[in-house]
Amino acid sequence: MGPVEVLSPGSPVNIGGPKPKALLAALMLEPRQVVSIDRLVDLIRDENPPQSAVALVHTYVSALRRKFAEIGADAALRTRAPGYVLDVDPADVDIVEFTRTVASARRAEQQAEHSVAAQLYQRALGLWRVH
């Protein structure tokens, strides 16, 4: 994990400033699930969002869509009432894969499969990146 980024065959894509990155991070928490615009506003703005917050979400979505289109992933960000869906394989989202791997490691640990648990924890740690 680490910074929010999109990789296009292995190389990072500049997706913009902090707010588009925050929007993408919010959508990545629930890949292939509808995230309402109200929820996105709550996740990317402070406690007192401006009246223009909904319009700003639409602006950030447009910016992300342009970036996705540049790398041939036009369909990655879809509009679906009452918000948006990040249509990517959950296994391609590090936080999702991390959570799944840690859960598997904990199950292995509970079943006294310590070497399997250690390998799974190591795999989960390998997803962390510091930039």
pLDDT tens-place string over residues 75-127? 999 999 999 999 988 888 888 888 899 999 999 999 999 999 999 999 988 87
Closest to 23 in 3D by CA, of 40, 35, 6: 40
**pTM for this predicted structure:** 0.75
* Alpha-helix residue ranges (DSSP H) falling in the chain: 18-28, 37-44, 53-70, 94-110, 114-126
Q: What is the pLDDT of residue 62?
A: 95
Q: What is the pLDDT of residue 125?
A: 87
Query: Counting Cβ atoms within 10 Å, is residue 130 exposed (0-12), middle (13-18) or buried (19+)?
Result: exposed
Q: What is the pLDDT of residue 131?
A: 45
Measured CA to CA, the distance from residue 36 to residue 131 in angstroms comes to 30
Measured CA to CA, the distance from residue 29 to residue 55 in angstroms comes to 22
Decide if pLDDT at 44 tops 70: yes
Average pLDDT over every residue of 56-85: 94
Q: What is the pLDDT of residue 66?
A: 92
Count of residues for the chain?
131
Average pLDDT over every residue of 29-49: 90
Beta pairing class for 11-13 and 6-8:
antiparallel
Q: What is the pLDDT of residue 41?
A: 94
87's CB contacts (< 8 A; 6+ apart) are 31, 32, 75, 76, 77, 78
Measured CA to CA, the distance from residue 60 to residue 16 in angstroms comes to 9
